[in-house]
Structure 1
């Protein structure tokens, strides 16, 4: 799930916004000031017996080396699968009615175990979700909105996606924000299904991110 995956590449936006005379600069992702999470949804004829869930990344790290020209900049984001959190109460409250129901602790634990298990993230064999990439600079950015070419390594598979982000640059930091949707199929993951498919997880996954990186 990967998120999330776009986040680091969004930092490449810096490369297209930094003045041409600027020297190469190094930034480090500030996980404490950042947010990466995604929503998965119940589906099927017996969907009322299931729950919608919010998955959030914690303890992730990343960096970006800004070069000139921007196509030569390098980006990296690493998310430890074992540190993924299921159903942070703050995030559930933020998303309102669809996530308002109280979920028993055993259901949260079962969801997390299934997510990290061999049928999905296979965290025992692939503990890190890793993202690398570059900004697409064929066209000039419009009001800080850029698209990024992203390579994601997840659960022993590698995929490539194009993702949008909005970049804001401060004196010693940058922030990349955005939302996007992927499917389990795009990520090479098999969503949970039970009772002959009458209770299952929807193919759609909605991602949100707000990543802060600070100049070293």
Structure 2
């Protein structure tokens, strides 16, 4: 990963078509994986945001396009049954309520997302190249006070006033100052890797 970077300045909308993210139609899933010698005793988890907000700007010269998004960590949903079913066989839909509550409490604590002091996760475009049909996107993700640039494979489509973007990528918790949950000297733990999937919908202003 590149070293921590300074946040980007706000982008000008001059000469661009601007789209607003529709939180009701957009969703982001974070897949969390169990690990350790006794991993079989734990669960994989799906953390879901249905509160993504932000904007996308598109310019005739595609490289001048970009986006800025955010979502509140306090609104994250732990192990929604439909999200678990959609995630595949590694995520059985039935999971005890106590495990969901424990996972939520753990992820919001200071060592992980520190929701009290850092209420939002932010994502901004760094570099856009290629074309709408074959985009190459680099994004700057800020979690707590750590910022990292990642390559985001994505599929984009514009249909009238509607823009859709979907894709998936991995990040490491420790790159953002998060301490993965671990008990019994690591015999049961959460893996450092998080797998992110998104399906965002935006409408033209």
Per the normalisation by structure 2, the TM-score is 0.86
Partner residue of 2:75?
83
Q: Paired residue for 2:137?
A: 148
Return the offset for 1:111: 0.5
Query: 1:13 corresponds to which residue?
Result: none
- The structure-2 alpha-carbon separation of the partners of 1:128 and 1:163, relative to structure 1 and needing over 3 Å to count, comes to same
Q: Which residue number corresponds to residue 37 of structure 1?
A: 29
Instruction: Tell me what 2:200 maps to.
Output: 211
Between the aligned partners of 2:66 and 2:153, the Cα distance in structure 1 is: 18
Tell me, yes or no, if the aligned pair for 2:66 and 2:128 is still in contact at 8 Å: no
Partner of residue 12, structure 2: none
Q: Which residue of 2 aligns with 1:46?
A: 38
Question: For 1:108-123, what aligned pairs fall within 5 Å after superposition?
Answer: 108-123=100-115
Superposition pairs of residues 127-146 of structure 1, within 5 angstroms: 127-137=119-129, 140-141=130-131, 144-146=133-135
Shift in Å, 1:57: 0.8
Determine if the alignment matches structure 1 residue 184 to structure 2 residue 173. Answer: yes
SS at match of 2:118: coil
State the Cα distance separating 1:176 from its structure 2 match: 0.7
Per-residue deviation, 1:157: 1.3
Partners of 2:192 and 2:118 in 1: CA distance: 22
Residue in 1 aligned with 2:6? none
Q: Aligned Cα RMSD in Å?
A: 1.8
Residue 69 of structure 1, CA deviation: 4.3
5+ residue gaps, structure 1, are: 1-22
Look up the SS of the partner of 1:99 in the other structure. Answer: coil
Unmatched tracts of structure 2, length 5 or more = 1-14
Partner Cα separation in structure 2 for residue 184 and residue 211 of structure 1: 23
CA contact (8 A) 2:65 2:128 kept: no
User: Do 2:81 and 2:94's aligned partners in 1 also have CA atoms closer than 8 Å?
Assistant: no
SS at 2:110's partner residue? Answer: coil
Match of 1:100 among 85, 88, 92: 92
2 CA distance for matches of 1:134 and 1:190? 26
Q: Which has the higher contact order (CA 8 A, sep 6+)?
A: 1
Aligned residues: 191
Distance 1:201 1:93 in 2: 20
User: Does the CA contact (< 8 Å) of 1:71 and 1:134 recur in 2?
Assistant: no
Partner of 2:52: 60
